Amino acid sequence: MKEEFTIHGLCPDWNKKIFQPAQIIVSEGLIQSITPINSTAGNSATPLPYVLPGFIDSHVHIESSMLVPSEFARLAVVHGTVATISDPHEIANVCGLQGVEYMIQNGAQVPFKFFFGAPSCVPATPFESSGSALGPEEVALLLQDHRIRYLSEMMNYPGVLNKDPEVMAKLAAAQKSGKPIDGHAPGLFGDLAYRYANAGISTDHECFTVEEATGKLQYGMKILIREGSAAKNFEALIGLLQEYPDQIMFCSDDKHPDSLVAGHINQLCARAVQKGHEVFNVIKAACINPALHYSLDVGLLRVGDPADLILLKDLHSFDVMRTYVNGILVAEEGESKIMHY
Ligand SMILES: [Zn+2]
């Protein structure tokens, strides 16, 4: 049985767009109650921390960190990350379905929420010879697995536009399963972008300019602002957050270990707030929108939700004091509580 504990902190009030002092009671891994308190309650010598839902990286290949999932989690929780939407296509390129299974099983060992997708483009091009291929049958098999949450980045956008039968079969399998389809379509504008979105593809993390992203947003796609170790699109795209706060998420795509040690989604939050973005919009992009889009079992700081939450000293640096996943303290003051496996 998980222990019961109480947190006093400043919680977001989404109606008033303010932070209210509150007492949160957690037991059995769930938020049992959130009760407003007098701001002088508790120890007034110590300012109350801010309490937020945990951060979600909405598109990251764990393999790019050169770590197994359990080790990725060990580092990421220090920065307040509680979940990732992860495409295991790098390992699938080499090990096929066995590789995907390994990622799921390894990730399940630790208190962290990995949500893996079915790789849509293995191999990435017909010219690659890394060892494995996932055809429509394998992709359909994966999508039937409850642990697989979406069809991951459909890089073969010419195949979508030209209605390639294999591509169409994979898209159909995702639609049949009711799971979202991720996109990957750099440089697609106008009618081409419209047709790509209209094939049921719901996100894109490859935009380099506001013009490209705006077009895709208008066709109903969600835009993932990517800032990782390879591509860096934050400066170009963050301005979209003000107009489209419900359609923006943050992701890293590829995150090398040295940069994961330095920070994660919390760094993007700090940069966005420092540019003048409203903190409630930033929280939507970093915590709320991915959980809603992918129907994740990640708590959003509501009564009855899993206690996936973080404590912050301030909403400027976004330095994380504590991270909880399912009510388990997984990081405190820069130290990970997740063990090596
Ligand atoms: Zn990717």
Same domain, 197 and 314: no
Is 275 in the same domain as 322? no
Q: What is the C-alpha separation between 237 and 241, in angstroms, rounded?
A: 8
Q: Which positions ≥6 away from 274 have C-beta within 8 Å?
A: 316
Give the residue among 217, 213, 255, 219 at the shortest CA–CA distance from 235: 213
pLDDT score recorded for residue 232: 94
User: In sequence order, which residues have a C-beta less than 8 Å from that of residue 206 and are 6 or more positions away?
Assistant: 183, 184, 185, 186, 187, 226, 231
Pair 74, 32 in one domain = no
Give the full edge-to-edge strand order of the sheet including 203-204.
Answer: 203-204, 222-226, 248-251
The CATH number of the domain where 46 resides is what?
Answer: 2.30.40.10
Distance 317 CA to ligand 1 centre (A): 27
In the reported structure, the alpha carbon of residue 43 is separated from the centroid of ligand 1 by a whole-number distance in angstroms of 46
Q: Give the integer Cα–Cα distance in Å for 218 and 229.
A: 29
Interval between CA 184 and ligand 1 midpoint (Å): 7
In 3-state terms, what secondary structure has residue 242? helix
Give dist(CA 4, CA 26) in Å, integer: 6
Backbone angles phi, psi at 211, to 5 degrees: -60, -45
Give me ligand 1 centre to Cα 120, in Å: 11
The neighbourhood of ligand 1, an ion, using CB within 5 A, equals: 253
Distance, CA 162 to ligand 1 centroid (Å)?
A: 22
State the distance from the centre of ligand 1 to the C-alpha of 47, rounded, in angstroms: 40
- Tell me whether residue 90 is in a domain: yes
User: For residue 125, what pLDDT is reported?
Assistant: 79
> CB of 210 within 8 A of CB of 242?
no
Residues 6+ apart with CB under 8 A from 62: 68, 69, 72, 84, 86, 88, 103, 107, 114
Distance in Å, CA 153 to ligand 1 centroid: 7
Whether 276 and 325 map to the same domain: the answer is: no
Query: Residue 298 corresponds to which amino acid?
Result: V
Please tell me whether residues 48 and 65 are part of one structural domain. Answer: no
- Report in angstroms the alpha-carbon separations of 37 from 12, 19, 26: 13, 12, 16
Same domain, residue pair 24 and 94:
no
What residue type is 237 in one-letter code?
L
List the chain pLDDT tens, one digit each, 341 residues: 468 999 999 999 999 999 999 999 999 999 999 999 987 655 566 899 999 999 999 999 999 999 999 999 999 999 999 999 999 999 999 999 999 999 999 999 999 999 999 999 998 877 777 789 899 999 999 999 999 999 999 999 999 999 999 999 999 999 999 999 999 999 999 999 999 999 999 999 999 999 999 999 999 999 999 999 999 999 999 999 999 999 999 999 999 999 999 999 999 999 999 999 999 999 999 999 999 999 999 999 999 999 999 999 999 999 999 999 999 999 999 999 998 87
pLDDT for res 44: 61
Could you identify the residue written with the tokens 């889009």?
A: 293
Peptide bond between residue 123 and the one before it cis (omega within 30 degrees of 0): yes
Instruction: Assess whether 37 and 69 both reside in one domain.
Output: no
Q: Identify whether residues 159 and 236 lie together within a single domain.
A: yes
In the sheet that 328-332 helps form, which strands lie side by side, from edge to edge?
30-36, 18-27, 5-13, 50-53, 309-312, 320-325, 328-332, 335-336
pLDDT of the residue at 129: 76
The residue type of 76 is: A
Check whether residue 125 and residue 181 sit in a common domain. yes
155 Cα–ligand 1 center, Å: 9
- Cα 195 to ligand 1 centroid, rounded to whole Å: 21
Q: How many domains does the chain have?
A: 2
| 62, 88 contact by CB (below 8 A) | yes
**How remote is the CA of residue 104 from the centroid of ligand 1, in Å?**
18
| Tokens describing residue 92 | 């699938």
Residue 60 Cα to ligand 1 midpoint, Å, equals 6
Task: Determine the distance separating the centroid of ligand 1 and the alpha carbon of 243, expressed in angstroms.
Answer: 25
- The single-letter DSSP state of residue 284 is I
**Going along 128-170, which residue ranges are E strands?**
148-154
How far is ligand 1, taken at its centre, from the CA of residue 286, in Å?
18
Distance from C-alpha of 250 to C-alpha of 290, rounded to nearest angstrom: 9
How many angstroms separate the alpha carbon of residue 57 from the centre of ligand 1? 12
CATH number, residue 70: 3.20.20.140
> Rounded to the nearest whole angstrom, what is the distance from the C-alpha of residue 86 to the centroid of ligand 1?
9
Rounded-to-integer distance, Cα 331 and Cα 308, Å: 12
Question: Domain range spanning residue 15?
Answer: 5-52+302-334
Q: How many CB atoms lie within 10 A of CB 24?
A: 20
Cα-to-centroid distance, 271 and ligand 1 (Å): 22
137 in the same domain as 86: yes
**How far, in Å, is the centroid of ligand 1 from the Cα of 280?**
27
Assigned token pair, 287: 């915590």
Helix (H) or strand (E) holding 172: helix 165-177
HEC sequence for 286-297: HHHHHHHHCCCC
**19 and 155 both lie in a single domain:** no
Of 128, 183, 118, 124, the closest CA to residue 151 belongs to 118
Is 333 exposed, middle or buried (CB count within 10 Å of its CB: 0-12, 13-18, 19+)?
Answer: exposed
